[in-house]
Structure 1
């Protein structure tokens, strides 16, 4: 991600990078080389979002880089009023995902970012699972005049696949039903589904949601949908239900439970608590599709 953004700022004079302390060291070269377009505003996320909106309205492509809860929650009103309401574009790059900063506690968790930002019409939500996927999605949509939230993680997938903004990738086809995964859950889902006769769709764009691919892929198979996402459960359920358009269906979901995560521990320990370890996903999928 850093290389991609560094190249973009260096090659585009109508761009600006705004940091909120995090990222100040990795991007120190940009701060020194482009002092008028690369700024460390400090721990002032809401004001930084408003500043980015002003730059956007003046013709600059702004990038704000921060931690997910401080952008998606602390600055929610500014994203809503200064970007969505004004119909202006900008890019919000966040690290931390749901609980990458697992040892720092609930103040640094944000499993609710996707479902929260989904309530603001016009905001795009992108969830790349690898650095190369980020680069592809960035090229697709960074200058499309919409506010775009790029949710990134330190715990990337090890396998790659081709992705496109606004489109789901078909990773596997089967006859027993469909598994939908997103972001960094792809590796675990593909491992869990290896011996299962199921279709697997991988979403790196949550909003706008690709209903067409889902509808096409389940047209001739049972409408049994298994969701596996690293966000709060329910974050994409409404999109899936709307895509099914009244058909009879069954849905099961693995995701972060809708509760305040008061426990500490490593990322892997958090995954186990949330039912998102490979073993837990595998058992849940087999039970849903095969009753085992």
Structure 2
């Protein structure tokens, strides 16, 4: 299976052939993959080098001329390092773009903390009117990228090496209800679905699948509480609690409890493998089963 990043490169390259309005802006990351497209479209595949603030600034300038820029690098260099440019060159100017990150929260542990961005979605959530997609499979990443490329709005597409075994038919709007139960609601975001599915296999819970996390589908969450208790578990592949406020606001008139699972705030000063980071953050199936079971208590029952 190809990775989400591989699929992004091949899909974006085809989109350049299909839509003359599009341009891809890079900062050395993924340039080898885009080399054929750059030879075909030298004026619409732009590599600014290791200059991330310029990366976003060039994308913002292109947007002001009517171009639809697809701006790409690792999440830590796309969101965190040039955040002022994201805020001013897109948000303040009122222009649109598709920001596509790679690297997730800790896809490349040996790269160290400079290449980790568990806080990227929380940081983007401080800006108004951004759509944030977190696909869980390369097919979903392709579908969401194609949707984003046709618009004029501001989109952040978060890619990761973590991925589920099978894709689901995502549309870019709302959550999918994968199963219904009575003892609680578990919201699995993007690549966390596989671990969540394994973790709750014997629990009587509703499972919602979220690949578009902003806007947050509060309506789907409310509907889920009509048949299940309002005990909510959020499992996100980035900073724990990123969507707690959105979920709580959706249920503001309904008594509820929320357990937030994701990447902790404390830095893990070890390299290791991605699987070891998942286990250390208690995002592996066994840890999730223990934490969700303890939160829901005896009411979780069995299936």
Q: Aligned ranges for residues 138-287 of structure 1 at < 5 Å?
A: 138-287=145-294
The one-character-per-residue Cα deviations of 1:172-211 (angstroms, maximum 9, x if unpaired) are: 1111110011011000101111111100011111111111
- Structure 1 residue ranges, 4+ long, deviating more than 4 angstroms after superposition: none
SS at match of 1:103: helix
**1:44 corresponds to 2:58:** no
Pick from 98, 101, 104 the counterpart of residue 111 of structure 2: 104
SS in 1 for 2:242: coil
- Between the aligned partners of 1:137 and 1:22, the Cα distance in structure 2 is 21
Paired residues of 1:125 and 1:151 also in contact (CA < 8 A): yes
Is contact 2:241–2:261 with CA below 8 Å preserved after alignment?
A: no
Q: Of residues 10, 21, 25 in structure 2, which corresponds to 1:3?
A: 10
User: Secondary structure of 2:288's partner?
Assistant: helix
Given that 2:104 and 2:116 are in contact with CA atoms closer than 8 Å, whether structure 1 keeps it comes out as: yes
- Alignment correspondent of 1:74: 81
Q: 1:144: how far off?
A: 2.5
Alignment of 1:115 onto 2:122: yes
Unaligned runs of 5+ in 1: none
1:26 corresponding residue in structure 2: 33
- What's the offset of the Cα at 1:166? 2.5
* 1:59 alignment partner in structure 2: 66
Superposition CA RMSD, Å? 1.3
1:65-94 per-residue CA deviation (whole Å, 9 max, x = no partner) reads 100000110111111111011111101111
Among 88, 100, 104, which residue is 2:95 paired with?
88
Match of residue 131 from structure 1: 138
Task: Give the secondary-structure state (helix, strand or coil) at the position aligned to 1:83.
Answer: helix
Q: With structure 2 as the length reference, what TM-score do the two structures score? A: 0.93
Instruction: Return 5+ residue gaps in structure 2 as ranges.
Output: 1-7
Equivalences, count:
292
CA contact (8 A) 1:89 1:143 kept: no
